[in-house]
Structure 1
Amino acid sequence: MRKYLSVGIMALMLILILAACGEKSKEDVVSKLEENLEKMDGYKAEAVMSLKTGKESQSYNIEISHKKKNYYRVLLKNEQNEEGSQIILRNDDGVFVLTPALNKSFKFQSKWPDNSSQPYLYQSLVKDVLNDSQSEFKSTDKHYVFETATNYQNSNSLPYQEIYFDKKTFTPAKVKVLDKDKNPLVEVKFSAFKLDPEFAKDEFKVEKNMTSSIFGVPAASQEESEVKEFSVFYPMETAGAELAETSETETENGKRVILTYKGDKNFTLVQEKVETSPASASPEQVNGDPVSLGFTMGALKASSLEWSYNGVNYYLASDELTKSELVDVASSVQGQQVK
Structure 2
Amino acid sequence: MKRKYWVLFAALFAIFLLSACGAKKPQDVAGKLNEKVEKMDGYKLNAKMTLKTGNEPRTYNIEVWHNRPGYYRVNLKNAGEGQSQMILRNKEGVFVVTPALNKSYKFQSDWPNNTSQAYLYESLVKDILKDKEAKMTVKKNRYVFETKTRYQNHKMLPYQQITFDKRTLAPVSVKVMDTDRNTLVSVLFTKVDFNAKFDSNAFDTKKNMTGAKLEVPVDGKVGNKEFSVKYPTAKIGGTTLLDEQEVAVANGKRVILTYTGDKTYTLIEEKAEVLPAASTEPIPANGEMADLGFAFGIKTGDSLSWTVNGVEYTLASKSLTAAEMMEVAQSVGGEPEK
| Cα shift readout 1:301-336 (whole Å, capped 9, x = no counterpart) | 221110111211111111221101111121222243
Letter in 1 for 2:253: K
Superposed displacement of residue 165, structure 1: 0.7
Superposition map of 1:8-23 within 5 A? 15-20=16-21, 22-23=22-23
Residue matched to 2:255: 257
TM-score by length of 2: 0.90
Aligned to 1:39: 39
AA partner of residue 224 (structure 2): V
The answer as to whether partners of 1:288 and 1:302 remain within 8 angstroms in 2 is: no
Question: Which is further off, 149-158 or 130-139?
Answer: 149-158
Q: Report the equivalent of 2:267.
A: 269
CA deviation after TM superposition for structure 1 residue 41, in Å: 0.6
2:89 — aligned with what? 90
C-alpha distance 335-116 of structure 1, shift in aligned 2 (>3 A): same
The residue number in structure 1 matching 2:185 is: 186
Q: Which amino acid aligns with 2:84?
A: S
The structural deviation recorded for 1:296 is 2.5
Do structure 1's residue 235 and structure 2's residue 229 form an aligned pair?
Answer: no
Q: Is the 8 A contact 1:103 1:210 kept in 2?
A: no
Answer whether contact 2:159 2:181 (CA < 8 A) is retained: yes
Aligned equivalent of 1:197: 196
Q: Which string of whole-angstrom CA distances, capped at 9 and with x for unpartnered residues, describes residues 250-291 of structure 1?
A: 222111122233333332211111111233243241321322
Unpaired runs of at least 5, structure 1: none
- Residue by residue over 1:142-173, the C-alpha shift from the partner in whole angstroms, topping out at 9 and shown as x without a partner, is 21000111111134211111100111111211
| Cα distance in 1 for residues equivalent to 2:165 and 2:184 | 22
Q: How do residues 296-311 of structure 1 correspond to structure 2 at under 5 angstroms?
A: 296-311=295-310
Q: Aligned partners of 2:208, 2:297: CA distance in 1, in Å?
A: 18
Match of 1:75 in 2: 75
Mapped partners of 1:236, 1:13: distance in 2? 58
Q: What one-letter code is carried by the residue in structure 2 that aligns with 1:52?
A: K
For residues 1-339 of structure 1, what are the structure 2 equivalents within 5 Å? 7=7, 15-20=16-21, 22-82=22-82, 84-211=83-210, 216-221=215-220, 224-227=221-224, 229-237=226-234, 239=236, 240-278=238-276, 279-292=279-292, 294-337=293-336
1:49 Cα deviation after fit: 0.6
For 2:269, what is the secondary structure of its paired residue? Answer: strand
**Structure 2: unaligned runs, 5 residues or longer:** none
Classify 1:214/1:201 alpha carbon distance in 2 versus 1 (closer, same or farther; 3 Å): farther
Quick one: distance in 1 between partners of 2:267 and 2:274? 21
1:186-206 C-alpha deviation (Å, 9 max, x unpaired): 111111111131113332223
Contact 2:102 2:213 in 1 (8 A): no
Name the SS for the 1:305 alignment partner. Answer: strand
Superposition deviation, residue 66 in structure 1: 0.8
Classify 1:195/1:246 alpha carbon distance in 2 versus 1 (closer, same or farther; 3 Å): same
> Does the Cα contact within 8 Å between 2:233 and 2:334 map onto a contact in 1?
no
Percent of paired sites with the same residue: 48
CA drift of 1:19 comes to: 4.0
Moved more, 271-280 or 180-189: 271-280
- Distance in 2 between residues matched to 1:18 and 1:159, nearest whole Å: 34
Q: What's the CA shift for 1:174?
A: 0.7
Counterpart amino acid of residue 58 in structure 1: R
Q: CA deviation at 1:81?
A: 1.7
Aligned Cα root-mean-square deviation (Å): 2.5
CA spacing shift, 1:301–1:196, aligned 2, 3 Å: farther
SS of residue in 1 equivalent to 2:215: coil
> Could you tell me whether the CA contact under 8 Å between 1:241 and 1:262 is conserved in 2?
yes
TM-score normalized by the length of structure 1 = 0.90
| Segment drifting more, 161-170 vs 102-111 | 102-111
Cα drift, residue 215 of structure 1: 7.0
